[in-house]
Amino acid sequence: MAKAISPPNLYDKVSLQNPLHRAFDVTIFVLLISLLVYRLLHFSSNGFAWLLALLCESCFTFTWVLTVSTKWNPVEYRTYPERLSQKIQELPPVDMFVTTADPELEPPILTVNTVISLLAVDYPAGKLACYVSDDGCSPVTYYSLVEASKFARLWVPFCKKHDIQDRAPFRYFCSEEVPLNNSLEFQQEYNKMKDEYEELATKINDANKKSIDWNLSSGDFAAFSNIERKNHPAIIKVVWENKGGISDELPHLIYISREKRPKHPHHYKAGAMNVLTRVSGLMTNAPFILNLDCDMFVNNPNIVRHAMCLLLGSRNERESGFVQCPQYFYDGLKHDPFGNQFEVLHKYLGNGIGGIQGPFYGGTGCFHRRKVIYGACPHDIGIQAKSLTPVHGDLTEKEQLKIFGNSKELIRSAAHALQGKANTSPRLLPNLNEAAKQVAGCGYEYGTSWGKEVGWQYGSATEDILTGLLIHARVLAFRSLHATSSSLLGVCSTGGTNRDDPTKEVGNRFA
Ligand SMILES: O=c1ccn([C@@H]2O[C@H](COP(=O)(O)OP(=O)(O)O[C@H]3O[C@H](CO)[C@@H](O)[C@H](O)[C@H]3O)[C@@H](O)[C@H]2O)c(=O)[nH]1
Ligand SMILES: [Mn+2]
């Protein structure tokens, strides 16, 4: 049975130890050792087959011991977002990153749903900014975001007023049944929102099928004219700016397509994440960063507050280097034949790893500390930190230029982030556009520490493993956000080997 093992705070660490499981494991361990001893004792009187059996059983025992020791002390974290207001004066800002790479394989309607669900989270909007990285450099994606921000201005107040839980509109409207709420006012607003969403989906789908007449040569879309997907300058556009930092408005929404040139490596998602980190560092410089792939959406509007309980509620920052939400998927097949839900990983090993050092960084759905991404150790390990990493709060200007690159604005903001200071003089986002384009350039990182000691690591097609290992080496522990296990949901494979097909299916369901 579960019992609390630490005093109530912003979170409780709850032990999930099961004495019966432990008794089974000890019994199996004794039996395995007895078998190995038996093999050894009778080794000389048996032949080659006996040796082979001994080797196999030793390997099995070794991996079994590793697995059991990993899940020996399972824990779960229960978070209490309602206590945040008693514990801290002001909620910290969070920069939210969405990555998309291809409007064909990842239809913009899907990306738009991810973005809308992020814009609608229950958190002061003035503290949030959503940055979308488009590696496809697609005017359709940009157009979709512009249209989505117009829709979100109606959708977000509707969700907050009626306490809607499914804030990705395609999920909310996917049921044929109208939600049970008898008030006439709700029915009218529901019907209006449904029409608005259908209109948005039709517009985006028409744009994707190129059945509307694009005028790329002038106005807002001129930046997309005469460009190739893999050969173009940086395009950065502020789709929506929450000028006064007002809580009831929409968060900032910024579109970024980093510079790409044929002879420059772009480093896949890691490269996109580093550009997002630098541009957001210039613009909003929030101390916390959340990343979602464009095929996931927020299923629990309180997710950011839950994560803050773990990030702010620890005794010191070393105990929560990052907070990883487990990846779950919606509309999976019965009995999960493709193993999308990682049942064993999350339920058994995941809780066990939570009791040791915490989870691995798994890419999407992770809340990071900006200064840890910048390569620093949490402050409170002082001098020891300097032996672990060259990045710390007392860098000289020359060191800063070498590490972070040749942008004075970025260096200033990075110094603030490393010293744990807030952005002192917020500026209008469009005024930062030129500086942002500089740090989104493909040559910006040459000779710097980006991709090595700073930011998301290069050298592997998947950015999360190397980056996670590097962070694990610098920080003591990590938290897994299990209390709200389906807070984030993604598209999963429902057939065959091509994982992109279901993405298309889901994306087109409403269009
Ligand atoms: O050049 C690229 C390639 C990919 N992406 C984005 O990266 C994300 C993940 O790529 P995907 O191909 O969907 O990888 P998955 O295997 O589905 O993703 C899992 O594995 C990745 C690599 O380990 C992690 O980054 C992800 O967060 C994790 O969900 C998507 O949003 C893509 O749009 C880019 O932005 N630029
Ligand atoms: Mn994916």
Ligand 1 atom nearest to CA at 490? 29
Query: Rounded CA gap, 316 and 419, in Å?
Result: 15
Cα atoms in the Cβ-side hemisphere of radius 13 Å centred on 487: 26
Query: Rounded CA gap, 462 and 313, in Å?
Result: 31
Could you tell me if the CB of 107 is within 6 A of ligand 1? Answer: no
Indicate the length of the chain as a whole number.
511
**C-alpha of 330 from chain center:** 17
Could you tell me if the CB of 290 is within 6 A of ligand 1? Answer: no
Query: Rounded CA gap, 95 and 321, in Å?
Result: 16
Q: Tell me if residue 283 falls in helix, strand or coil.
A: helix
Query: Rounded CA gap, 333 and 172, in Å?
Result: 20
Q: Which one, of 76, 156, 172, 87, lies nearest residue 123 by Cα?
A: 156
Could you tell me if the CB of 106 is within 6 A of ligand 1? Answer: yes
Contacts of 44 (CB under 8 A, 6+ apart): none
User: Which residues pair with residue 128 across a beta bridge?
Assistant: 94
- Binding residue numbers: 106, 135, 269, 293
- Binding residue numbers for UDP-alpha-D-glucose: 106, 135
The residues annotated as belonging to the active site are 135, 464
Amino acid 419: pLDDT: 83
- Binding residue numbers for Mn(2+): 269, 293
293 CA from centroid of ligand 1 (Å) = 6
Amino acid 505: pLDDT: 37
Residue nearest to atom 29 of ligand 1 (CA): 364
Query: Rounded CA gap, 493 and 506, in Å?
Result: 11
Cα atoms in the Cβ-side hemisphere of radius 13 Å centred on 369: 28
144 CA from centroid of ligand 1 (Å) = 20
Q: What is the DSSP string of 314-362?
A: SSSGGG-SEEEPPPEEESPPTT-TT-TT-HHIIIIIIHHHHHTT-PPP-
Q: Which one, of 91, 88, 83, 166, lies nearest residue 126 by Cα?
A: 91
Ligand 1 atom nearest to CA at 295? 31
Ligand 1 atom nearest to CA at 102? 33
- Cβ distance 420 to 427 under 8 Å? no
Quick: pLDDT tens for 145-157: 999 999 999 999 9
- Cβ distance 145 to 115 under 8 Å? yes
Q: Tell me if residue 231 falls in helix, strand or coil.
A: strand
Quick one: tokens of 148? 């989505």
Residue nearest to atom 4 of ligand 1 (CA): 269
451 CA from centroid of ligand 1 (Å) = 17
Amino acid 457: pLDDT: 94
Residues of the chain with pLDDT under 70: 1-8, 211-218, 332-334, 338-344, 378-388, 393, 422-427, 476, 482-488, 490-511
Ligand 1 atom nearest to CA at 272? 35
Contacts of 91 (CB under 8 A, 6+ apart): 84, 123, 124, 127, 305, 308
- For 346, counting Cβ atoms within 10 Å of its Cβ (0-12 exposed, 13-18 middle, 19+ buried), the class is middle
Q: Which one, of 257, 265, 46, lies nearest residue 140 by Cα?
A: 257
ipTM of this complex prediction, to 2 decimal places = 0.97
List, in order of start, the domains of the chain with CATH numbers. Answer: 3-81 (no CATH), 82-508 (3.90.550.10)
Could you tell me if the CB of 101 is within 6 A of ligand 1? Answer: yes
Amino acid 429: pLDDT: 78
Q: Which one, of 221, 135, 113, 153, lies nearest residue 511 by Cα?
A: 113
Amino acid 461: pLDDT: 78
Amino acid 333: pLDDT: 67
Query: Rounded CA gap, 296 and 211, in Å?
Result: 27
Which residue bears the tokens 């630490």?
6
Helix ranges (H only) for 120-267 are 139-162, 169-172, 184-208
User: Where does residue 168 fall: left (phi above 0), alpha (psi -120 to 50 degrees), or beta otherwise?
Assistant: beta
293 CA from centroid of ligand 2 (Å) = 6
